[in-house]
């Protein structure tokens, strides 16, 4: 991304521990056509937070990186799969509980909206693109909105019931480096909002995950092949079980500042991935 103005990133906290392990870090925009990816040993995707606006160009760049001498992390196959939120359907077939979802093989009409409310037994619905980031074009609605219908006229979308726990408790994010657990945060929206991202005024708190929360995230990670980083976003349902909101494998904020040891864990995970280094 050319500029992170308006966004919160703390990836710079990993530079020192990576340097201690002999790694030199350069930050480059994925849009910089002058970059020779062969100059790098590993390219770790971190903050390309505008990719959703031009996914075709983004994937073209990643394909070039994948064909270079550099190692792309996370792997291209994982990114291609995770790019569209319909990956959640794949995880659901593996027995993972996701937020109940209707996918975009339906038409956005007022009658359909009312039918969805009945189907979910929910007055409020969430409608969002299947390719998006930072809650862009995400609608929380009690009534059909013609503006929303126009936004999705030519885009794939998904419909979910609004989960009250997002505002009552918050959304949990658990972080893993090379499939090893690192730390957990709780993201809560500001008063009057439902978006938990800091860019929208959300609040971030470091927490120790309860046993059930950690076990749920661990079971989700167990379905995946090893990769450098993963973020599991979970929310509690009305029965106290945890549902998967998102499995962030492309460019998740990793909130290094919320756990003092997490930058070193990330550095060690990268070093081990590249060198088979077992130091702890």
pLDDT in tens, the chain (280 residues): 677 877 889 999 999 999 999 999 999 999 999 999 999 999 999 999 899 889 999 999 999 999 999 999 999 999 999 999 999 999 999 999 999 999 866 788 899 999 999 999 999 999 988 887 666 788 889 999 888 888 888 888 999 999 999 989 999 999 999 999 999 999 988 777 776 776 766 789 999 999 999 999 999 999 998 899 999 999 999 999 999 999 999 999 999 999 999 999 999 999 999 997 544 3
What torsion, rounded to 10 degrees, do the Cα atoms 148, 150, 152, 158 define?
Answer: 30
φ/ψ of 106, rounded to 5, equals -135, 165
- What does the DSSP 8-state code read for residue 35? -
In the sheet with 171-177, reading across from the earlier edge strand, the strands are: 203-207, 180-188, 171-177, 229-236, 242-248
CA pair distance 210, 38, nearest whole angstrom: 44
Residue 37 makes CB contacts below 8 A (sequence gap 6+) with: 43, 64, 65, 68, 69, 70
Secondary structure of residue 107 in the 3-state scheme: coil
Q: 242 has which bridge partners?
A: 236
Helix (H), strand (E) counts: the chain? 9, 11
CA pair distance 102, 119, nearest whole angstrom: 10
């Amino acid at each position: 991304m050319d500029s992170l103005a308006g966004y919160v990133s703390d990836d710079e906290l990993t530079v020192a521990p990576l340097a201690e392990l002999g790694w030199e870090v350069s930050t480059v925009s994925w849009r910089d056509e002058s970059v020779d990816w062969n100059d790098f040993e590993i390219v770790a995707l971190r903050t390309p937070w505008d990719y959703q606006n031009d996914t075709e160009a983004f994937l073209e760049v990643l394909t070039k990186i994948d064909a270079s001498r550099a190692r792309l992390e996370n792997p291209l196959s994982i990114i291609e799969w995770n790019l569209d939120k319909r990956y959640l359907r794949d995880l659901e077939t593996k027995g993972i509980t996701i937020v109940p979802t209707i996918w975009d093989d339906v038409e956005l009409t007022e009658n359909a909206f009312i039918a969805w409310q009945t189907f979910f037994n929910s007055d409020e619905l969430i409608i969002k693109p299947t390719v998006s980031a930072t809650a862009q074009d995400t609608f929380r609605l009690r009534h059909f909105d013609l503006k929303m219908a126009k936004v999705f006229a030519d885009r794939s979308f998904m419909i979910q019931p609004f989960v009250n726990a997002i505002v009552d408790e918050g959304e949990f994010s658990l972080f893993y480096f090379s499939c090893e657990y690192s730390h957990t945060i709780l993201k809560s929206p500001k008063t009057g909002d439902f978006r938990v991202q800091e860019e929208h005024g959300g609040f971030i708190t470091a927490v120790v995950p309860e046993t059930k929360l950690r076990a749920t995230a661990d079971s989700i990670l167990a379905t995946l092949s090893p990769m450098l980083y993963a973020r599991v976003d979970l929310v509690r349902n009305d029965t106290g079980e945890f549902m998967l909101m998102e499995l962030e494998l492309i460019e998740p904020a990793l909130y290094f500042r919320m756990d003092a040891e997490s930058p070193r864990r990330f550095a060690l995970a990268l070093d081990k991935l590249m060198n088979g280094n077992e130091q702890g």
